[in-house]
């Protein structure tokens, strides 16, 4: 969140200060000229990487012990496709930040629009999944946990709706203020994960520990070993589905870009920015 907001604030602030863009510009206009272009490109790519890491960590939590219901074929497929949609959105964000709108307007605008569209799909899918999961375990939670759960899900659904509405409004009106609202809503949607992921830690298993675990499973019987293999295969299978989904979406977008054409006349707003540059 901080990286994305900092990138927009610094690049747009610098572009406005240097007279490269009008007041309250479209965010894309803040990546057209040097030096703000370098800040914009770096910041958007770092934001895309961090968002991808968040999605991967959140995905792996579904296959932790105690979530055995996430290991059946349907939920693995659903989780994999959902992750693939989210990762495709991060690829669109990185490409949008790398391709300047002044030189290649069609690809830039397409990747920007697809970033928001794919992320809205991910948010709807993710929120529905979270609410269904909470409904199954709600009665087992303490009163404090129940209240916190209600607040988190309400918060995420509210910002999901704001993201969708502001994205559609921005596409139909081109209003830059609405674009700022859409960006803020995207970031605020993921803010509850700050609470949920604060206790997440990454453990490293050495080869000797891994060998000892395998020997223990063999001694305790084939059934337990088979269960362990199925458990380890669950996240791997869903990640493979995610990568396949992401590649299909990204390749389809590239095919669309090349079918339409890389270049097109810049919008009136971009012409204003260019005249200011001169």
List the single range of 82-86, 135-139, 258-262 with lowest mean pLDDT.
Answer: 258-262
DSSP track, 30-84: GGSSTTHHHHHHHHHHHHHHHHHHHHHHHHHHTTSTT-GGGGSHHHHHHHHHHHH
Band (pLDDT 50/70/90 cuts) for residue 275 is very low
What pLDDT, on a 0 to 100 scale, did the predictor assign at position 268? 45
Query: What whole-number percentage of the chain has pLDDT above 90?
Result: 30
Question: With pLDDT > 70 as the criterion, what percentage of the chain qualifies?
Answer: 76
Q: Return the pLDDT at 199.
A: 57
Residues 247, 79: Cα–Cα separation, whole Å: 16
* pLDDT tens for each residue of 75-107: 778 888 999 999 999 999 999 999 988 888 889
- Find out whether the peptide bond into 143 is cis, omega within 30 degrees of 0: no
Q: Where are the domains of the chain?
A: 2-267
pLDDT grade for 228, boundaries at 50, 70 and 90: very low
Task: State the pLDDT confidence band at 264, using cuts at 50, 70 and 90.
Answer: low
Q: What is the mean pLDDT of residues 138-159?
A: 85
Q: What is the DSSP letter of 141?
A: S
Q: 222 or 117: which carries more pLDDT confidence? A: 117
Q: What confidence score (pLDDT) does residue 131 get?
A: 87
Residue 128: Cβ within 10 Å count: 12
Q: Could you read off the pLDDT of 162-202 as tens digits, one per residue?
A: 999 998 998 888 888 999 999 999 989 998 888 877 755 54
> What is the per-residue pLDDT for 200?
57
pTM of the model: 0.77
Between residues 273 and 30, which one has the greater pLDDT? 30
Q: Is-contact 269 29, C-beta < 8 A?
A: yes
pLDDT on residue 234: 53
Q: How far apart are CA 114 and CA 256, in angstroms?
A: 12
Whether residue 213 has pLDDT greater than 80: no
């Amino acid at each position: 969140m901080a990286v994305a907001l900092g990138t927009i604030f610094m690049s747009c602030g610098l572009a406005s200060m240097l007279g490269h863009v009008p007041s309250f510009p479209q965010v894309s206009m803040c990546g057209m000229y040097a030096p703000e272009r370098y800040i914009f490109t770096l910041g958007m790519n770092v934001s895309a990487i961090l968002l991808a890491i968040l999605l991967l960590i959140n995905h792996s939590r579904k296959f932790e012990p105690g979530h055995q219901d996430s290991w059946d074929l349907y939920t693995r497929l659903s989780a994999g496709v959902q992750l693939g949609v989210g990762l495709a959105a991060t690829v669109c964000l990185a490409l949008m930040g790398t391709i300047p709108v002044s030189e290649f307007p069609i690809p830039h605008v397409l990747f920007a629009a697809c970033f928001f569209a794919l992320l809205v799909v991910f948010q709807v899918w993710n929120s529905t999944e979270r609410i269904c999961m909470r409904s199954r375990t709600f009665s087992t939670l303490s009163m404090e946990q129940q209240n916190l759960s209600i607040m988190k899900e309400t918060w995420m659904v509210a910002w999901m709706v704001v993201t969708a509405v502001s994205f559609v409004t921005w596409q139909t009106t081109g209003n830059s203020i609405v674009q700022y609202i859409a960006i803020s809503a995207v970031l605020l949607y993921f803010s509850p994960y700050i609470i949920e992921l604060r206790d997440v830690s990454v453990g490293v298993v050495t080869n000797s520990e891994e060998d000892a675990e395998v020997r223990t499973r063999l001694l305790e019987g084939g059934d337990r070993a088979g269960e362990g293999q199925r458990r380890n295969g669950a996240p791997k299978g869903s990640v493979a589905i995610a990568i396949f989904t992401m590649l299909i979406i990204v390749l389809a977008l590239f095919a669309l870009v090349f079918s339409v054409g890389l270049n097109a006349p810049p919008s009136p707003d971009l012409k204003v920015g260019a005249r200011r540059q001169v």
